[in-house]
Structure 1
Amino acid sequence: MFGRGFHLFTLFGFRVSVDPSWFLLAVLIVWSLARGYFPAVIEGLATDTAIWLAIAGAIGLFASIIFHEFAHALVARRFDMPISGITLFLFGGVAHLRDEPPSARAEFLVAIAGPISSYILAAGFYLLLAVTSAGDGITPLAALFSYLTLINAVLATFNLLPAFPLDGGRVLRAAVWGWTGSLRRATQVSAALGRGLGVALMALGVINIVSGDFVGGLWIGLIGFFILTAAGSTAMQVELKQTLKDIRVRDIMNSQVIAVPADITVAELVDDYFYRHFHKAFPVVRGEQVLGSVRLKDVGQVPRENWGTTSVAEILSSGNGSHVVEPGALVWDALTLMKENNVSRLMVVERGDLKGMLTMRDLMHFLAVHRELSGGPGASEPELRQVAEDRA
């Protein structure tokens, strides 16, 4: 759902990044705090003081979100669940779990850790509020702690709503999983509630807009849309993961491969392979040994007048040695490798010999057949890449 974004820092082995959408949220929060919240709380507040308080409030909020996500990540590490990183985005933050939890108990503890951490922060800021409050009025510092107390309590409470992908939805999924023994069934139930909450929030947003609260209504509607789409995509991802988790590359790969001899010229490559077979890349071999792959992009880097004197071996991509997978590898791992290298095809090689090709098209065809035969999930290429991204 999110790209890797801009790297901020690494803490406790977790990479913390920020999605470009986060900057819009930062501007909106600073603007709303400086123009609305702090002037309303402190009578006669100077404009520059309100701006500095708003900036401090935004920093405190984002630090609180990171704290919330770190709670998830640290508990997940306790259960040996790999976390690829934490990303701040328009609607808060997310800890990227590469795999589903190993048990309902692990799911529950990882999910509940976030809201508990936010309530702990709220209690801490409330104590600071009590210490800094003046007897005859609220000080700027007390107003800041008041905001951070409120926002952490709201963050924790909202996340406890029993709708996926919120933490409360994950707690619900853990309960249904423990009761039924089926992760797939538990995901379907919690995702359905997530979609229902998303629709309800979108409707509430429309009502607010019609009532005159355009900004508030738009924000509620956007949150509802995010929950609606996230619930649907997460349910699809779980279905895809369950379908692909035990499938091997040899079960899906295309063993009828057109390979290019390494010693032919680029001109022969273009005329006899690219124009004849219309693939965008071909494996390159010398005898039985695979040397790599050649792409249209590689040909484009050779001046046309040199096509007749340049061999294919001379233009192999420097990074294509990583575009290889073994026949016995899991398709799940191959999908991750595609994502990491931003490619849609992998050479299937065993002890240096070319055995076949695995392409994104092969995966989509397999899932289409699976859907027809068993009522399982179909998927688009973006959905498959999203599954890989969550694992990478």
Structure 2
Amino acid sequence: MRATVRLGRIGGIPIGLHWSVFVAVLLIGSVVAVNLPGVAPGLGFGAYLLWGCAGAAAFLLSLLAHELAHALVARRTGTEVRAITLWLLGGVSELGGQPKRPAAEAGIAFAGPLTSAVLGAAFAAGAVVAEAAGGPDLLTAVLAWLAVMNVVLAVFNLLPGTPLDGGRVVHALLWGLWGDRDRASRAAGSAGQVLGLILAGIGLFQALDGRWDGLWLVLVGWFVASAAAGESARALMGSRVAGVQVGEIMTRRPVTVPAWLSVQQLVSALTAPDAPRHRVFPVVGATGELVGVVSQGDLARVPAADRPTTPLRTVTRAVPGEWVLTADSPLDPLLDRPLTHGRDLAVVVEDGAVIGVVGPDDLARTVERRGLLTDDRAKR
């Protein structure tokens, strides 16, 4: 998930907000504000909304702490953490790979709920102190709400199905028991899909009974089921391409583009009758070294009047390190961070020069062909 607003770094980890966070603050703040008059009557709705949004913002910071706990434990176990992004339904820690051992995965998974439980206890203590000290009733109410929400967050995340933390723990246990990561992923993914459907069903029943907050549970259930299905699909792909090297599926001697061209020169070449039919191209320097990649979409975003004077280098995108491969590299990095059609390429290099590329279609074709040669049902 791409961040809309970058907040900076914590411990070297980039932190960002998706635009949906602002919707979440207003929604949660409004829900809290509606219930505050029963605690401290006689104030205007603006005051209740202000306290509600403050509570919602504090809860988002609690979510950030939850994700930071995952990220910091992941780094201690040797797993790269690329970024943390907060969005409408919580937070996402983008890892640069998968944990190497079941124990590491279980530790990473437990860190988030444990942090939320500790925060819940801290907010509860704060509410008790605020009430004993005669503090504002609204402050006590918001602190108590934050305590409850953090405990709920901890318990909810321990439910046994991916992508929830409890599902990661189940995956780690099954992985350690069976010794097969992909089989464990399929099992935890199936549990996540069932869990998501149950949550969505409960939410739908609540909505039909007049409790419109059940629609939120429907949304959460849909997300859990969808994410679990995606992880199951990834596990299936992993089992199908196990042992396959990049050199076996790459397109050799790909069409490359010199970095010293202008955008107009490349546009003219791509619109000629004999133009290559590709959509994304590696950009190379004078000695054939990789500079980056450029897509037709990148070129189209340059205004026509500026294309003759715009160097191609200015629209060339760097290739992430996990997509710069050698012919004997495994395909796993391409499953952990999938390529986007019409935008991304994995580039294969040898002695610094580009010798091949792998696109999304190359990977999909390999998965399909390997599927024809194996019986995946036997692995379930």
Q: Same fold (TM over 0.5)?
A: yes
Query: For 1:89, which of 84, 87, 90 is the aligned residue?
Result: 87
Q: Which residue of 1 aligns with 2:365?
A: 365
Q: Which residue of 1 aligns with 2:33?
A: 34
Q: Is the 8 A contact 2:280 2:296 kept in 1?
A: yes
RMSD: 3.9
TM superposition score normalised by structure 1: 0.79
Within 2, Cα distance between the matches of 1:329 and 1:57? 48
Q: Is the 8 A contact 1:252 1:366 kept in 2?
A: yes
1:174-231 Cα distance to aligned partner (Å, 9 max, x none): 22222212222222222212111111121112212211122x1211111110111011
Query: For 1:167, which of 151, 165, 168 is the aligned residue?
Result: 165
In structure 1, runs of 5+ residues without a counterpart are 378-392
Q: Is the 8 A contact 1:253 1:358 kept in 2?
A: yes
What secondary structure, in the 3-state scheme, does the structure 1 residue paired with 2:97 have? coil
Q: Which residue of 2 aligns with 1:223?
A: 220
Within 2, Cα distance between the matches of 1:60 and 1:29? 11
Q: Which residue of 1 aligns with 2:251?
A: 254
Q: Is the 8 A contact 1:5 1:87 kept in 2?
A: no
TM superposition score normalised by structure 2: 0.81
Q: Do the aligned partners of residues 289 and 187 (structure 1) sit closer, same or farther apart at CA in structure 2, a change above 3 Å counting?
A: closer
Larger deviation, residues 19-28 vs 238-247: 238-247
Within 1, Cα distance between the matches of 2:139 and 2:257? 70
Shift of residue 172, structure 1, vs aligned partner: 1.6
Within 1, Cα distance between the matches of 2:299 and 2:127? 66
Query: For 1:236, which of 233, 242, 246 is the aligned residue?
Result: 233
Residue type of the alignment partner of 1:9:
G
What secondary structure, in the 3-state scheme, does the structure 1 residue paired with 2:58 have? helix
1:31-83 Cα distance to aligned partner (Å, 9 max, x none): 11112x21233344443331221122112101111111111111111101111
What secondary structure, in the 3-state scheme, does the structure 2 residue paired with 1:162 have? coil
Larger deviation, residues 283-292 vs 135-144: 283-292
Within 1, Cα distance between the matches of 2:133 and 2:288? 82
Within 2, Cα distance between the matches of 1:238 and 1:180? 15
Query: For 1:65, which of 63, 81, 98 is the aligned residue?
Result: 63
Q: Is the 8 A contact 2:295 2:342 kept in 1?
A: no
Q: Which residue of 2 aligns with 1:327?
A: 327
Within 2, Cα distance between the matches of 1:223 and 1:155? 13
Within 2, Cα distance between the matches of 1:212 and 1:145? 28
What secondary structure, in the 3-state scheme, does the structure 2 residue paired with 1:80 have? coil
1:222-250 Cα distance to aligned partner (Å, 9 max, x none): 11101110111122223434555653321
Within 1, Cα distance between the matches of 2:233 and 2:142? 41
Within 1, Cα distance between the matches of 2:56 and 2:259? 58
Matches within 5 A, 1:140-289: 140-214=138-212, 216-241=213-238, 243-244=240-241, 246-255=243-252, 257=254, 271=272, 273-274=274-275, 277-280=276-279
Q: Is the 8 A contact 2:183 2:235 kept in 1?
A: no
Q: Is the 8 A contact 2:280 2:343 kept in 1?
A: no
Q: Which runs of 4+ in 1 moved over 6 A?
A: 135-138, 259-269, 282-288, 290-295, 297-304, 334-338
Q: Do the aligned partners of residues 291 and 102 (structure 1) sit closer, same or farther apart at CA in structure 2, a change above 3 Å counting?
A: closer
Q: Which residue of 2 aligns with 1:14?
A: 13
Q: Is the 8 A contact 1:85 1:96 kept in 2?
A: yes
Q: Do the aligned partners of residues 132 and 361 (structure 1) sit closer, same or farther apart at CA in structure 2, a change above 3 Å counting?
A: same
What secondary structure, in the 3-state scheme, does the structure 2 residue paired with 1:16 have? strand
Q: Is the 8 A contact 2:30 2:53 kept in 1?
A: no
Within 2, Cα distance between the matches of 1:326 and 1:92? 37
Within 2, Cα distance between the matches of 1:322 and 1:121? 40
Q: Do the aligned partners of residues 342 and 123 (structure 1) sit closer, same or farther apart at CA in structure 2, a change above 3 Å counting?
A: farther
Q: Is the 8 A contact 2:290 2:353 kept in 1?
A: no
Residue type of the alignment partner of 1:183:
R
Shift of residue 148, structure 1, vs aligned partner: 1.0
Within 2, Cα distance between the matches of 1:248 and 1:49? 61
Q: Do the aligned partners of residues 105 and 139 (structure 1) sit closer, same or farther apart at CA in structure 2, a change above 3 Å counting?
A: same
Q: Is the 8 A contact 2:280 2:342 kept in 1?
A: no
**Number of aligned residue pairs:** 366
Within 1, Cα distance between the matches of 2:126 and 2:258? 72
Q: Do the aligned partners of residues 321 and 273 (structure 1) sit closer, same or farther apart at CA in structure 2, a change above 3 Å counting?
A: farther
Q: Do the aligned partners of residues 87 and 288 (structure 1) sit closer, same or farther apart at CA in structure 2, a change above 3 Å counting?
A: closer
Residue type of the alignment partner of 2:274:
Y
Q: Is the 8 A contact 2:259 2:312 kept in 1?
A: no
Q: Do the aligned partners of residues 110 and 261 (structure 1) sit closer, same or farther apart at CA in structure 2, a change above 3 Å counting?
A: closer
